Each structure stands twice: as structure tokens, then as C-alpha cells.
């Protein structure tokens, strides 16, 4: 260990309370002597594998997933290297605990299970001081900032400041899935109030106790935040997360040219759904440009997916209008049709000529879609009638129930397979267990944005991209779809196994970085081997040696 490192390292209890540097019982005998740890730890020096086994034993003994979530967050707060070792080595078991579906319940209970601060909270009360607040962040080089205002958390609605669990969870996936270093991840909550009556009546609620701000004061806070990030952390990528529909599209349009920024609910969801559809076509046959897709829900996710599918269809030779005619939307007012009054701007391109239809099953019968995609958080809307109609219309109907958490899924995997005699090609937003169908076991695909956004972020960080473009998300979708193996397809899984997520992220990152260099968006020199350079940027959850 160099003298410089000795000077930088805290000692004794301070080191044990530093989650970035703490090794817990894995500190060696020499390190314990050198760093003032002798007597502060049990005498046995444990290997990382022994520590991992202890964590897993405790975790699996918990009685509920929420308790497991709390245990994992507590581990992250005291030993990040061990936390990420556990997550990366057991990603299929742990991801549902630190993200969907468990993170939804954790956000609902956020003010009651709160333990230690993580990230930055910027409220309406902080206008004029946002740059000062950013300066309080202890790590000077954040590269990924995930920010929310808590208005549309998963399918749970307005959770206000309790929505902070989402940026924290997303950034955990950036590290676990793509190797962004934990010190380069910054979660941010823009607290502008909440309209959640239960929270406003809860004396333990940790956010502003006022109704949600809209209008100039809101816009001024967002503008100040964006300007402060641009000045303070100019190399950072900003990911907009779980903003309400009234703000998400306009904020993306307003700021995507000003700094490296994207909206995962719009662009990331679009890419992962497109990849799933491409995977489904490898099972059913047919070309993307021949598909007719009917969406239940015309919010960020639905419109984001629609726009992404349209762009991909245009690459296959359709005109923009022809591609849009193949995407139909059903929202809270029924089928989105031309002539309806008060159509939001982002929906207007998909308002086609058709008689009004107020029932989703009827819309399926009239439009004869090859695929239906649910993204409105309305459980059960893919009813037996809907799925059976899809199966009558299509030999291999595509049924994507993408709403999160699991309780909000439009139908379950078992329902989709059962109502279609095992012919449906199914994917969901939250995980479902494999389903026995006859002499086969079908494995539902999970259309988790974690397949997309970590790799896109890694590609942007490694290349120093000044912008994240729609072309990058289309490329990410194609890479993801190409990684579905023959074994996956045999089980009718339309996404690769989550156990391959770091491989997926690296390959997506390399493609994103290649585009950044080709389009003149990269601020870093182009390496001879872009994939090798991407992999060199990836954090590995391995303890350093201090002595």
C-alpha cells in the first residue's frame, strides 16, 4: 500500500463505517494492524465466499421479500463490495428483491423502513441553492445520475419523496449489471410535494407535506437542477425516471439536446419491448414490418414502445405513416382514434381513422392485432376473452403484460399460456415462474429495462458521449434480441437469461460507444478495441488489498 493510499484511507471505526472501503470480517491480519482495526472485529478473517454464504443464509431465512430488501439495503450501506458480489453472483434471485417487484412495496413503505440516507434530496424549498446541494455529494465524479420527482412510480402512482427507492434501485442495477462504479452513481429526488392522501396524512412521511407543485415553480426547479448538473458534473449522464406523463415527454424534448440525458420509461422501455418482439418473431416467424400491435395504455411506456417499433419498421422499408398505422392504442377513453378531442401531443401521431371502441376485447376483434402489449398498470385487462380471441386470430399470439409490479400485470404467465392452449408467446415486466404446459415447461420472458439502460449508460460513460440518441436505443434492442440463444427459444424465452446480464450490457455498451464515435458525439479518443475498452471500465466486486 502506498503512502498516498495510507493518507487517503480512514482508520479504525471510520473505515468500518465507510461502505466503499469497508471489508468487514475480510480485513487481513496485516490490514487490521496497519489500519487500527485490531479488536474492532471478531478474530476470524473470513474469505469473501464465507461472507457471501453468511449473507445468503440470513437473507433466505427472512419471512418476507420486504425484509430481504431491508437486509440487502443495509448491507449496501455498510459494505458495497460484498453487496455487489452477492447481487452479481445471484442476479436472478436478488434482482427481484432490490428492484421490481419488491422495490414497489419498499417505496410504499419508504418513510417507515428508512434507515440511512442515500443520494440527494432537492425540494422546492431549495430553489436558488441547488448547485450548493450538489457540492455536498461526497464523490466528485458521478457519471450516472438517476432523478425522479416521484409522480409515477412503477404502476403505483404518486409516491412523492418515497419514490427515492427507484433511483437507488436503478443505480444498483447500473453497478451490478454494467459495472458502473458505485461512487459514480448518484440518485436524486426532486421533491415537489405529493397528491397521495395517505402520505399527506402520515406523520412519518419524509417528504414535503404539501400538494404537488405544477407550473412555473416546478419548471424553475428542474431548470436549476439541469443547469447545476451541467456546471458541476459536466461528464454525467442524467436518466429521467418515473416522471408523470404531463412532464416526462416535454422534459425529454426540452433537455436531451442540452446534456447527455434520456428517459428510461420512454426510451429504455421502448428498446426492451422491441427486443422482446424481435425475439418473439424468431419463434413465430414473420417480419416486424408485417406486425399489427395493439397497446393497452398510452402513457410513457406505451408511446415509447410505439415510437421505437415505428422507427424499427421504418428501417425495414415502411414509411413513417405506414409504420404508425401498424400501432394502435387503447387508453382510459377507449380506442385512440382521429377526431377525438383533447388528444395529447405525444399520442396524436397514433390517432387513426376508426369508429370509437370502448371495450378492449372488442378492439382486439376489430383490429386483429398480432401482438398486444399492456403498459397501463391495470391488472387483469388481458382477460380470458382477450387472450382466447388473440389465439383465434393468430397461431402464435404475442401477449406482453409489461406493467409493474407483478400485482399490476395485465395477466399472468399461467393465464396467457392456459387460455391460448400453450400457444401464446408471453413476456412480462416483473418475473413469473416457469409454467408446465403439457410435456413442456415454458419460461416467461421478463421485459426488464435492466437489459437496456445499464449497457446504454456504460457505453455513454466509456465513450464520453455528449448525447444519447434514439439510434443508440434501436441498436441496443437489436443487440439484445441477437443474444437470445437457441436454448432460450426452445423454452420460448424471448430474452436471454439474466445470468448473462453483464455480457449483454458490455455488448450493448460497445455498440452505443461505436455509434457515439461514428456520429462525433464521443469526447473520449476512440480505442483500438471498443469492446475491450468497455470491459476495462467495468467495476468488479473484488476487495482491494490495503497491506
The number of beta carbons lying within 10 Å of the beta carbon of residue 339 is 10
pLDDT in tens, 246-285: 899 999 999 999 999 999 999 999 999 999 999 999 999 9
Percentage of the chain modeled with pLDDT above 70: 99
- pLDDT averaged over every residue in the chain: 96
Joined together, the cell numbers standing for residue 429 give 415486466
Q: Buried (b) or exposed (e) across 212-223, using 16+ Cβ within 10 A?
A: bbeeeebeebbe
Task: Report how far residue 66's alpha carbon sits from residue 182's, in angstroms, rounded to the nearest whole number.
Answer: 23
Q: Quick one: average pLDDT of 373-390?
A: 97
Whether residue 348 is predicted with pLDDT greater than 80 in this model: the reply is: yes
Q: Quick one: average pLDDT of 527-533?
A: 98
Residue 142 has a pLDDT of: 98
Dihedral of alpha carbons 107, 111, 117, 121, sign: positive
Q: What is the 3-state secondary structure (H, E, C) of 204-252?
A: CCCCCCCCCCCCHHHHHHHHHHHHHHHHHCCCCEEEECCCCHHHHHHHH
Annotated catalytic residue, options 99, 296, 451, 495: 99
Q: Buried (b) or exposed (e) across 154-171, using 16+ Cβ within 10 A?
A: bbbebbbbbbbbbbbbbb
Q: Quick one: average pLDDT of 307-319?
A: 97
pLDDT in tens, 146-189: 999 999 999 899 999 999 999 999 999 999 999 999 999 999 99
pLDDT in tens, 464-488: 999 999 999 999 999 999 999 999 9
Residue 155 has a pLDDT of: 86
Joined together, the cell numbers standing for residue 383 give 382477460
Annotated catalytic residue, options 23, 105, 170, 347: 170
Q: Quick one: average pLDDT of 218-242?
A: 98
Residue 7 has a pLDDT of: 53
SS3 400: strand
Q: Quick one: average pLDDT of 198-216?
A: 97
pLDDT in tens, 5-37: 445 789 999 999 999 999 999 999 999 999 999
With residue 437 as reference, give the H or E element that holds it: strand 435-437
Would you say 166 and 148 are in contact if contact means Cβ atoms under 8 Å apart?
Answer: yes
With residue 303 as reference, give the H or E element that holds it: helix 300-315
Active site (annotated) includes residue 170: yes
Q: Following DSSP, what letter does each residue of 175-192 receive, concatenated?
A: HHHH---GGGEEEEEEE-
Let me know the angle formed at the C-alpha of 546 by 544 and 547, rounded to the nearest 5 degrees. 130
Residue 9 has a pLDDT of: 87
Whether residue 3 is predicted with pLDDT greater than 90 in this model: the reply is: no
Joined together, the cell numbers standing for residue 28 give 487481513
Percentage of the chain modeled with pLDDT above 90: 97
- Judge residue 122's burial from the number of C-beta atoms within 10 Å of its C-beta, 0-12 exposed, 13-18 middle, 19 or more buried: buried
pLDDT in tens, 42-62: 999 999 999 999 999 999 999
With residue 507 as reference, give the H or E element that holds it: helix 501-518
Whether residue 2 is predicted with pLDDT greater than 70 in this model: the reply is: no
For residue 120, give the nearest of 233, 3, 21 by alpha carbon: 233
Q: Quick one: average pLDDT of 506-535?
A: 98
Distance of CA 489 to the CA centre of its chain: 24
For residue 252, give the nearest of 473, 516, 20, 510 by alpha carbon: 473
Q: Please state the φ and ψ torsions of residue 292, each to the nearest 5 degrees.
A: -125, 120
Look-up of cell digits 434507515: 115
Whether residue 4 is predicted with pLDDT greater than 50 in this model: the reply is: no
- Judge residue 521's burial from the number of C-beta atoms within 10 Å of its C-beta, 0-12 exposed, 13-18 middle, 19 or more buried: buried
DSSP 90: T
Q: Buried (b) or exposed (e) across 487-518, using 16+ Cβ within 10 A?
A: ebeebbbbbbbbebbbebbbbbbbbbbbbbbe
Whether residue 210 is predicted with pLDDT greater than 80 in this model: the reply is: yes
Joined together, the cell numbers standing for residue 168 give 437507488
Whether residue 1 is predicted with pLDDT greater than 80 in this model: the reply is: no
Q: Could you give the domains of the chain?
A: 3-97 (1.20.1370.30), 102-259 (3.40.50.10380), 267-450 (3.40.50.720)
Task: Report how far residue 113's alpha carbon sits from residue 106's, in angstroms, rounded to the nearest whole number.
Answer: 8
For residue 196, give the nearest of 241, 239, 244 by alpha carbon: 244
pLDDT in tens, 487-513: 999 999 999 999 999 999 999 999 999
Long-range Cβ contacts of 11-15 (<8 Å, 24+ apart): 11/35, 11/36, 11/37, 12/36, 12/37, 12/40, 13/40
Amino acid at each position: 500500500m502506498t503512502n498516498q493510499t495510507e493518507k487517503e484511507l480512514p482508520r479504525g471505526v471510520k473505515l468500518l463505517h465507510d461502505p466503499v472501503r469497508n471489508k468487514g470480517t475480510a480485513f487481513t491480519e496485516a490490514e487490521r494492524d496497519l489500519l487500527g482495526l485490531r479488536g474492532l472485529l471478531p478474530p476470524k478473517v473470513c474469505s469473501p465466499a464465507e461472507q457471501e454464504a453468511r449473507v445468503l443464509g440470513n437473507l433466505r431465512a427472512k419471512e418476507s421479500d420486504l425484509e430481504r430488501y431491508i437486509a440487502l439495503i443495509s448491507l449496501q450501506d455498510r459494505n458495497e463490495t460484498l453487496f455487489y458480489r452477492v447481487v452479481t453472483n445471484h442476479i436472478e434471485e436478488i434482482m427481484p428483491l432490490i428492484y421490481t417487484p419488491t422495490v414497489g412495496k419498499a417505496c410504499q413503505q419508504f418513510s417507515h423502513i428508512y434507515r440511512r440516507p442515500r443520494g440527494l434530496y432537492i425540494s422546492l424549498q431549495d430553489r436558488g441553492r441547488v448547485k450548493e446541494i450538489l457540492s455536498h455529494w461526497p464523490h466528485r465524479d458521478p457519471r450516472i445520475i438517476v432523478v425522479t420527482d416521484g409522480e409515477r412510480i412503477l404502476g403505483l402512482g404518486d409516491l412523492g419523496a418515497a419514490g427515492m427507492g427507484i433511483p437507488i434501485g436503478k443505480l444498483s442495477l447500473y453497478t451490478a449489471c454494467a459495472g458502473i462504479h458505485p461512487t459514480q452513481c448518484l440518485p436524486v429526488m426532486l421533491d415537489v410535494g405529493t397528491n397521495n392522501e395517505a402520505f399527506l396524512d402520515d406523520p412519518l412521511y419524509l417528504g414535503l407535506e404539501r400538494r404537488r407543485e405544477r407550473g412555473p415553480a416546478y419548471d424553475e426547479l428542474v431548470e436549476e437542477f439541469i443547469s447545476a448538473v451541467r456546471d458541476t458534473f459536466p461528464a454525467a449522464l442524467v436518466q429521467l425516471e418515473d416522471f408523470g406523463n404531463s412532464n416526462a415527454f416535454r422534459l425529454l424534448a426540452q433537455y436531451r439536446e442540452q446534456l447527455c440525458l434520456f428517459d428510461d420509461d420512454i426510451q429504455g422501455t421502448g428498446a426492451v419491448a422491441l427486443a422482446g418482439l424481435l425475439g418473439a418473431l424468431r419463434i413465430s416467424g414473420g417480419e416486424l414490418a408485417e406486425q399489427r400491435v395493439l397497446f393497452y395504455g398510452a402513457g410513457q411506456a406505451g408511446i415509447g414502445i410505439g415510437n421505437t417499433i415505428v422507427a424499427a419498421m421504418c428501417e425495414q422499408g415502411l414509411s413513417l405513416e405506414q409504420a404508425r398505422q401498424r400501432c394502435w392504442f387503447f387508453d382510459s377513453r377507449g380506442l385512440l382514434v382521429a377526431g377525438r378531442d383533447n388528444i395529447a401531443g405525444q399520442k396524436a401521431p397514433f390517432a387513426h381513422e376508426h369508429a370509437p371502441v370502448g371495450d378492449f376485447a372488442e378492439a382486439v376483434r376489430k383490429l386483429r392485432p398480432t401482438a398486444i402489449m399492456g403498459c397501463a398498470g391495470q391488472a387483469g385487462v388481458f382477460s380470458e376473452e382477450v387472450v382466447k380471441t388473440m389465439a383465434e386470430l393468430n397461431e402464435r399470439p404475442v401477449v406482453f403484460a409489461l406493467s409493474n409490479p407483478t400485482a399490476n400485470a395485465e395477466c399472468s404467465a399461467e393465464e396467457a399460456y392456459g387460455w391460448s392452449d400453450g400457444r401464446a408467446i408471453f413476456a412480462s415486466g416483473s418475473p413469473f415462474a416457469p409454467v408446465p404446459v403439457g410435456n413442456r415447461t415454458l419460461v416467461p420472458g421478463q421485459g426488464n429495462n435492466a437489459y437496456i439502460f445499464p449497457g446504454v449508460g456504460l457505453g455513454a460513460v466509456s465513450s464520453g458521449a455528449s448525447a444519447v440518441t434514439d439510434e443508440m436505443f434501436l441498436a441496443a434492442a437489436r443487440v439484445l434480441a441477437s443474444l437470445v440463444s437457441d436454448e432460450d427459444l426452445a423454452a420460448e424465452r424471448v430474452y436471454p437469461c439474466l445470468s448473462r446480464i453483464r455480457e449483454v450490457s458490455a455488448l450493448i455498451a460497445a455498440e452505443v460507444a461505436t455509434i457515439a464515435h461514428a456520429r462525433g458525439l464521443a469526447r473520449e479518443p476512440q480505442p483500438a478495441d471498443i469492446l475491450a475498452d468497455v470491459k476495462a471500465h467495468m467495476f468488479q466486486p473484488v476487495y482491494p488489498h490495503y497491506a
